[in-house]
Copies of this chain bind each other. A is one copy, B any other.
Amino acid sequence: MTMRLDADMFDPMCPSSALPFQVGDKWTGMVVRCLEHGPRRFGELRAPLRTVTPKVLTETLRAMERDGLVTRTAYEENPPRVEYALTPLGRSLLTLIEAARVWTREHLPDLLAARVAYDAGGAPAAPTGSGVSAAGVVSGPPDNA
């Protein structure tokens, strides 16, 4: 393999796994990005997505093939070889995925900070949320029990 795939996106420990988007199944978006720079073989997809099991990867790829997002090309060679490639339709998802990545880069810290503040129990000092507490009580975490 040649391309340096952004490892962080595929790292299950990466905070972006907490981000509020998903394209298709859990792995669909990552597969699209893995195929961004050209066709890849089954095993080449397993490597960067190293926590995906063959079963799930197969399911994902089949679903994507069905939806016209990838093509599957099997070569009748002595060690079997199968290549997956993006179709134009699949490629069109890249802009959307890129938009999601931009959002994540820009806003994920805010989201995570809000989460920490919420979990900490208090009304956040509202770096992002403000304004609408006219006559009311802005709730914090339910402090029941």
Binding site for B on A (CB under 8 A): 20-24, 28, 39, 62, 65-69, 71-77, 83, 85, 87-89, 92-93, 95-96, 99-100, 103, 106-107, 110-111, 113-115, 117-119, 124, 128-129, 132-145
Residue of B66, B89, B144 near A77 (CB, 8 A) is B144
Q: How distant is A126 from chain B, measured CB to nearest CB, in Å?
A: 9
Q: Contact at B67–A115, with CB atoms within 8 Å?
A: yes
Q: Contact at A68–B110, with CB atoms within 8 Å?
A: yes
Q: Contact at A129–B21, with CB atoms within 8 Å?
A: no
Q: Contact at A66–B114, with CB atoms within 8 Å?
A: yes
Assuming the A-B contacts A107-B92, A139-B72, are A132 and B67 also in contact, with contact meaning beta carbons closer than 8 angstroms in the complex? no
Copies assembled: 2
**Chain B residues positioned under 8 Å from A138 (CB to CB):** 71-74
Q: Contact at B139–A67, with CB atoms within 8 Å?
A: no
How would you classify the secondary structure of chain A's contact residues: helix, strand, loop or mixed?
mixed
**Chain B residues positioned under 8 Å from A140 (CB to CB):** 71, 73-75, 83
List 18 A–B pairs whose Cβ atoms lie within 8 Å, in order of A's numbering: A21-B22, A21-B96, A65-B118, A66-B118, A67-B114, A67-B118, A68-B129, A71-B132, A73-B133, A73-B136, A73-B139, A74-B138, A75-B135, A75-B143, A89-B128, A92-B103, A95-B99, A95-B103
**Chain B residues positioned under 8 Å from A71 (CB to CB):** 129, 132, 138, 140
Q: How distant is A55 from chain B, measured CB to nearest CB, in Å?
A: 14
